[in-house]
Amino acid sequence: MRIAINTGGGDAPGLNAAIRAATLAALKRGWEVFGIKNGYGSIYTDEPFIKLDAEAVHGITLQGGTILGTANRGNPFDMPYQKDDGSWDTRDVSDQLIETFREHEIDALVAIGGDGSMSIASRLIKKGLNVVGVPKTIDNDIFNCDVSLGFDTAIDIATGALDRITTTAASHHRIMAVEVMGRYAGWIALYAGIASSADVVLIPEIPFSYDTIVEKIEEREESGQQYTMIVVAEGAKKKDGELVTKGKTVGQQVQLGGIAKQVADELSERTGKESRSVVLGHLQRGGSPSTYDRLISLRYGAAAIRCVQQRDYNKLVVLQDNELTRIPITSIEGKMKSVPLDSDTVQTARDIGICLGD
């Protein structure tokens, strides 16, 4: 058996642990293991696959990033290229990819990635590739998957940062609006917001109103709290408002960001209080994975190899109700997991007095 492993989309803490577990579990079965560099990037080069052995994955469980490199631009069905006139367009190079897998006699691909990576995998499956998926994304937005690798570390980092920003907010009697990642889902904002005792948490699932936030700030002032901590998901928007974006590069998703600054400025204007905005950004994806992420990544990586061994292809290994199970990759194509508004976590936020902006 010859398998290939790749990592796609934004990097996340735990990727290396998943690569290590998948590699070691495959080597243990006497298989050959290859890595694809930079998403699918190396496929179109002279060295499409690099050999992975025990030495290559030694000591990487605790390392951030991915030893294989990753890409969130270079979808084989939507590959950017520069035209003769210098402008950019995209084209479908998936047949070339499938052919390269065939030429190198790769029996299966272990694709470690987020919703976007699984959408690519779904389309490759339909073209005949055997794929097993491992769920990765700090955004935690993969449909029917309770937890993706990277999320735990991201909320840990965000919580720590929010704790620190709280002490300076309190000292200066300021409104602080802190923007966290998560794309169109509010998982990071909600979890880190609750854990850090934020006063206001704005998530994409609940469009917000400035009047409600101002009421909360005034209520706090009246009770002697002269500062307000606001966690803003990058995908949050006001009622009847638009997503705040920074533009788009050909072949890449739209870049989100800028909403926290808008919130801070508008609230200053309305309350007369001083405000600042902070964007946590890529800090949330960097560095060593938490213990939980190391373990879930190792479990996911090894589970993917058991899937391949049983020729149970085209499955994504996922955690559901604390059990490792498998779901068809094609079943989650084009879907995402939002924060359910009736969840106990949302209810907890409301019960302890966090304003969700509605």
Ligand X SMILES: Nc1ncnc2c1ncn2[C@@H]1O[C@H](COP(=O)(O)OP(=O)(O)OP(=O)(O)O)[C@@H](O)[C@H]1O
Please list the active-site residues.
139
Binding residues for ligand X, per CB under 6 A?
6, 8-10, 39-40, 71-75, 113-117, 120, 136-137, 139, 183, 253
- Three-class secondary structure of residue 210 per DSSP: helix
Site for ligand F6P in 279-308 (CB under 6 A): 285
Please report the DSSP string for 239-305 in residue order. Answer: TT----EEE--TTBPPEE--HHHHHHHHHHHHH---EEEEE-GGGGG-SPPPHHHHHHHHHHHHHHH
Q: Considering the complex, what minimum distance in angstroms separates the CB of residue 10 from ligand F6P?
A: 3
223 annotated ligand-binding residue: no
Number of helices and strands in the chain (H, E) = 9, 15
Work out how close the CB of 183 gets to ligand X at its nearest, in angstroms, rounded to a whole number.
6
**Residues 3-32, interacting with ligand F6P (CB under 6 A):** 10
Closest separation between CB of residue 36 and ligand F6P, Å? 19
183 annotated as a binding-site residue? yes
Residues in the chain: 358
**Does residue 153 interact with ligand F6P by CB under 6 A?**
no
Tell me whether residue 186 is annotated as binding.
Answer: no
Q: Tell whether residue 283 is among the known ligand binding residues.
A: yes
Q: Are 305 and 26 in contact (CB under 8 A)?
A: yes
List residues near Mg ion by CB under 5 A. Answer: 114-116
* Contacted entry of ligand F6P, ligand X, Mg ion, none for residue 256, CB cut-off 5 to 8 Å set by kind: ligand F6P
Task: Provide the token pair at 163.
Answer: 């704790």
Nearer to ligand X, 176 or 244 (CB): 244
Partner whose binding site includes residue 193, from ligand F6P, Mg ion, ligand X, none (CB under 5 to 8 Å by kind): none
Give me the least distance between CB of 90 and Mg ion, in Å please.
18
Q: Which does residue 140 touch among ligand F6P, Mg ion, ligand X, none (CB within 5 to 8 A, set by kind)?
A: none
Q: Is 115 in the site for ligand F6P (CB under 6 A)?
A: no
Under DSSP, is residue 175 helix (H, G, I), strand (E, B) or coil?
strand
In which residue are the tokens 């400035």 written? 210
Residue 231's binding partner out of Mg ion, ligand F6P, ligand X, none, with CB under 5 to 8 Å set by partner kind: none
Q: Of the candidates 113, 32, 105, 51, which has an alpha carbon nearest to the alpha carbon of residue 76? A: 113
> Is 22:305 a contact under the CB 8 Å cutoff?
yes
Which among 46-54, 80-88, 177-185, 328-336 is the span making contact with ligand F6P, rule CB under 6 A? 177-185
Q: Is 337 in the site for ligand F6P (CB under 6 A)?
A: no
**Helical packing angle, 151-172 and 187-195, nearest 10°:** 50
Residue 299 annotated as binding site:
no
Annotated binding residue 114: yes
Q: Binds 35, which of ligand X, Mg ion, ligand F6P, none (CB < 5 to 8 A, cut-off by type)? A: none
Task: Work out how close the CB of 266 gets to ligand F6P at its nearest, in angstroms, rounded to a whole number.
Answer: 22
Least Cβ distance, residue 38 to ligand F6P (angstroms): 14
DSSP string for 63-122: --S-TT---SB--TTSEEEE-TTS-EEEE--HHHHHHHHHHTT--EEEEEE-HHHHHHHH
Neighbours of 29 (CB within 10 A): 13
Tell me which of Mg ion, ligand X, ligand F6P, none is bound by residue 199, counting a contact when its beta carbon lies within the kind-specific cut-off of 5 to 8 angstroms.
none
Give the relative orientation of helices 291-309 and 15-28 as an angle to the nearest 10 degrees. Answer: 40
Query: Could you identify the residue written with the tokens 């213990």?
Result: 291
- The verdict on whether residue 39 carries a ligand-binding annotation is no
Collapse the DSSP code of 57 into the 3-class scheme (helix H, G, I; strand E, B; otherwise coil) and give the result.
Answer: coil
Q: What is the DSSP letter of 148?
A: -
- Under 8 Å between Cβ of 251 and 80: yes
Pick the closer one to ligand F6P by CB: 138 or 307: 138
Which of residues 179 and 199 has its CB atom nearest to ligand F6P in the complex? 179
Residues that bind ligand F6P (CB under 6 A): 10, 72, 114, 137-139, 181-183, 234, 256, 285
Residue ranges for the binding site for Mg(2+)? 115
